[in-house]
Amino acid sequence: MRDINLLKTGDPFFCDFYHITMAQAWFQDGGFDKHKTSEAYFRKCPFGGSYLIAAGLGEFLSWIENWKFTDEHIKFLRNMKGDDDKPMFTEDFLEFIRKQNLRLDIASVREGEIVFPNEPVLAVTGPSWQVDMVEAAFLNIFNMQSLVATKASRVAAASQVDGVKRPVLEFGLRRAQELGGFSPTRASFIGGCFGTSNVAAGQYYNIPIKGTMAHSFVMSYESETRAFKAFLKSAKGNSTLLVDTYDTRQGVKNAVKASDETGIKLNGIRIDSGDLAYWSKEARKILDAAGFSHTKIVLSNDLDEHVIENLIAVQKADVDIIAAGTKLVTAYDSPALGGVFKTKSFEHKPVIKIADGKTTIPGATNILRIYNNNGMFRSDVITSFDNIYVQDGVLARDIISLIPNSPDEARAVFPKGSKARSLLENFVIGGNIIKDKHDLDLHAIKSRAAKNMELLEPEYKRLANPHIYNVGIEQNLAGLQLDMVREYNQKRPL
């Protein structure tokens, strides 16, 4: 099903067409084995926020682990014709790629890390054609899953805006823009959702499966009470009833009646339409008056973080559980992250792309995270990858960070001994995955994301107008970038 099999089989066609045509060009030109490093990063945080939760690495590594051109792939490429109706790919090139295994080194941030714009989240080093062959797969997985994980974290935060911890359920399968909805369900769980209605994804990823009932079930009976009684009798503990099919107030009363007449405990009711705050408060009054104070109230209906925050903080809705669907799994208000993959060094020399607003930082880089005395995130610094800046959890030397577009803190000095760590870690060496780092336990990833969110100060997590987290460039690296830009401008013809 969908990319689950694609990932399991390591299908090398999980790429754009130009990755294969460029590979042949390098092969014929003798440059296929030239060494380069490319890095992935994103330029802007989604949803008007100031952070991103990194997600998707585990599935990318699953694909890497099994990457291989098969006879079927070669046959397909052999049959492709160019505009001149001649074979597009040569036999020597096809024979070459058929025998190849990946020989890449891959460093990445872990899933569940909090990352910020322009920081490297993945670095791939090795033969140039192979580096490019993994670009599309990583960006496809990372862009989508990080986007939804971040959306889920915002929804989860909004559900607790008053300090009450409320579970958030992901109910988005029918609106997910993907066959099976596996990726959005996985990412939603990492970002903070408690469970999912998606049975296949829940089973595959070991995510709690949750659900209520549909209006169509109620409409299939001669009365709402009769439908409720039938559902309760078969519920086996899954006794949450949808009460807004006809009349919400009467629906709540009928749910109470069905529970009383069957003797089966009513665990919850769900309201999916109308004035959710009003009806939640009315439902609570009816339930409490009937002695059903144990019954939880679930709210759904195109909820996102902004609606949820308003429902709870402003309208004082009486809600115990949030069920989010469409606007969560589709990242409704920021449907694309826009992560990119850029060459940073070629044949062991730093290279730079120079473009208005898109000039890259030259050379292979890493992220240095600095903590304050309370253990909270203080600032990030982009550094060269090969230099050692951290030993035993603290800075091994003074670090000077130049912070672009921040006149108030254009230069920050972090003294030796400050608590710090490097975020990029090696996950693949010579094409071989470091097994103890191939982290597929979503519950551990979810816990890591939650812990990292706790270490991010509240002002950076505001849903609207958040404070912008400082990401600087280590002074020597910033100097190299400036020198390379100047050198280019001096050589550029007038």
Q: What is the CATH number of the domain that holds 438?
A: 3.20.140.10
In whole angstroms, what is the distance from residue 296 CA to residue 376 CA? 35
pLDDT of residue 57: 96
Q: What is the CATH number of the domain that holds 243?
A: 3.20.20.70
Beta bridge partners, 471, equal 380
Of 314, 329, 344, the position where a domain reaches its end is: 329
CA angle 146, 472, 121 (to 5 degrees): 25
> pLDDT tens digits for 342-357?
999 999 999 999 988 7
Band (pLDDT 50/70/90 cuts) for residue 31 is confident
Of 265, 294, 329, the position where a domain reaches its end is: 329
User: Is residue 493 predicted with pLDDT exceeding 80?
Assistant: no
User: Which tokens go with 181?
Assistant: 């909805």
**Are 380 and 479 within one domain?**
yes
* Domain total in the chain: 2
Percent of the chain with pLDDT over 90: 89
Q: Residues 308, 195, 230, 296: what is their CA dihedral angle, to the nearest 10 degrees?
A: -40
Percent of the chain with pLDDT over 70: 97
Q: What are phi and psi of 350, to 5 degrees?
A: -65, 140
**Are 205 and 137 within one domain?**
no
Band (pLDDT 50/70/90 cuts) for residue 409 is low
Residue 368 domain boundaries: 2-148+335-491
- The DSSP H or E segment spanning 269 is strand 268-271
User: Is residue 489 predicted with pLDDT exceeding 90?
Assistant: no
**Are 156 and 142 within one domain?**
no
**Are 180 and 303 within one domain?**
yes
**Are 135 and 156 within one domain?**
no
Tell which wins on pLDDT, 437 or 121.
Answer: 121
Average pLDDT of the chain, as a whole number = 94
Give this prediction's pTM. Answer: 0.95
Of 275, 302, 329, the position where a domain reaches its end is: 329
Cβ-contact 371, 420 below 8 angstroms: yes
Cβ-contact 325, 152 below 8 angstroms: no
Cα atoms in the 13 Å half-sphere on the side-chain side of 166 = 27
In whole angstroms, what is the distance from residue 260 CA to residue 189 CA? 35
pLDDT of residue 356: 80
**Are 162 and 201 within one domain?**
yes
**Are 278 and 380 within one domain?**
no
DSSP labels for 108-159?
Answer: EPPTT-EE-TT--SEEEEEEHHHHHHTHHHHHHHHHHHHHHHHHHHHHHHHT
Band (pLDDT 50/70/90 cuts) for residue 404 is confident
> pLDDT tens digits for 267-303?
999 999 999 999 999 999 999 999 999 999 999 999 9
User: Is residue 492 predicted with pLDDT exceeding 80?
Assistant: no
User: Is residue 488 predicted with pLDDT exceeding 90?
Assistant: no
pLDDT of residue 304: 97
User: Is residue 126 predicted with pLDDT exceeding 90?
Assistant: yes
Band (pLDDT 50/70/90 cuts) for residue 146 is very high
**Are 194 and 299 within one domain?**
yes
User: Which tokens go with 287?
Assistant: 């339930």
User: Which 8-state DSSP code applies to residue 312?
Assistant: I
Helix or strand or coil: residue 220?
coil
**Are 56 and 200 within one domain?**
no
pLDDT of residue 406: 62
> pLDDT tens digits for 216-249?
999 999 999 999 999 999 988 899 999 999 999 9
> pLDDT tens digits for 416-461?
999 999 999 999 999 999 977 776 789 999 999 999 999 999 999 9
User: Is residue 1 predicted with pLDDT exceeding 50?
Assistant: no
User: Is residue 2 predicted with pLDDT exceeding 60?
Assistant: no
C-alpha Rg value of the chain to the nearest Å: 26
**Are 141 and 170 within one domain?**
no
Band (pLDDT 50/70/90 cuts) for residue 9 is confident
**Are 128 and 58 within one domain?**
yes
Sheet holding 420-422, edge to edge: 411-414, 399-402, 471-474, 377-384, 365-371, 420-422
User: Is residue 6 predicted with pLDDT exceeding 80?
Assistant: no
pLDDT of residue 273: 96
Average pLDDT over residues 162-178: 95
Site of tokens 């003074």 = 398
**Are 279 and 407 within one domain?**
no
Site of tokens 């989240």 = 121
pLDDT of residue 355: 83
